[in-house]
Amino acid sequence: MTLRVVVADDQALVRTGFRMIIDARDDLEVVGEASDGREAVRLTRELAPDVVLMDVRMPVVDGIEATRQIAESDSGARVLVLTTWDVDAHVVAALRAGASGFLLKDIRPGELVDAIRVTARGDALLAPAVLSRVLDRFLRTTPDLAPPSLRELSGREREVLTLIGQALSNAEIAERLRLSEATVKNHVTAVLRKLGLRDRVQAVVAAYDHGLVQPRRP
């Protein structure tokens, strides 16, 4: 199945570069380009992409607000935020808005392609270089958000949530717990469903919020 992608960036050269990288893959296709956040929201509604590559700094409507509108819609599209700005505040705002991932624009083409694929699966996380400190800041700046209760989770599901919080993939969790990947996938699905979470990014936040994982200090 071909993954459909909308690229949102106010620089035409950047959009062209992303399109060339994405369209060169057999399983990916750019179905639309947006030069501002309002257009990104409109194209997401009209074209039903699987993933939206979203720049943060754009005119009319910025990438954070556009991400919020897409996340609150019933489009099903996942937003992968890309920016040249390695700024915690932007990442925190993107997480609060409902982004499914955050990467810097200096990533390699192969890494971008992989990020799109895992974002479409709901597996995307943050760039490793910013994960711990950003989640620490996210939790300290969102005291108004009550964490979902873990009472519905089984013991094994709590273990899986803890390992998700450590940014482990399904394969790594399977190896750690000596389970099959299919079994781990079922546990992850159950965790997201029982906690009412949209994707693994929200699961990571929940794991930190409940103290299952502690931010690593510099």
Summarised one tens digit per residue, pLDDT across range 152-199 is 899 999 999 999 887 788 888 999 999 999 999 999 999 999 988 877
The per-residue pLDDT for 29 is: 96
The proportion of the chain whose per-residue pLDDT surpasses 70, expressed as a percent, equals: 83
The per-residue pLDDT for 165 is: 82
The per-residue pLDDT for 218 is: 45
Q: Flag whether pLDDT at 132 surpasses 80.
A: no
- Within 10 angstroms of residue 56's Cβ, the number of other Cβ atoms is 23
Closest CA to 201 of 188, 217, 211: 188
Q: What average pLDDT does the segment 129-143 reach?
A: 56
- In the chain the first and final C-alpha atoms are separated, in Å, by 42
- The structure tokens 């570069």 sit at 17
Residues present in the chain in total: 218
| Better-predicted residue by pLDDT, 32 or 212 | 32
Predicted TM-score of the model (pTM) = 0.72
Q: What are phi and psi of 97, to 5 degrees?
A: -80, -15
Q: What are phi and psi of 13, to 5 degrees?
A: -65, -40
Mean pLDDT of the chain: 84
Summarised one tens digit per residue, pLDDT across range 66-98 is 999 998 888 889 999 887 766 656 777 777 788
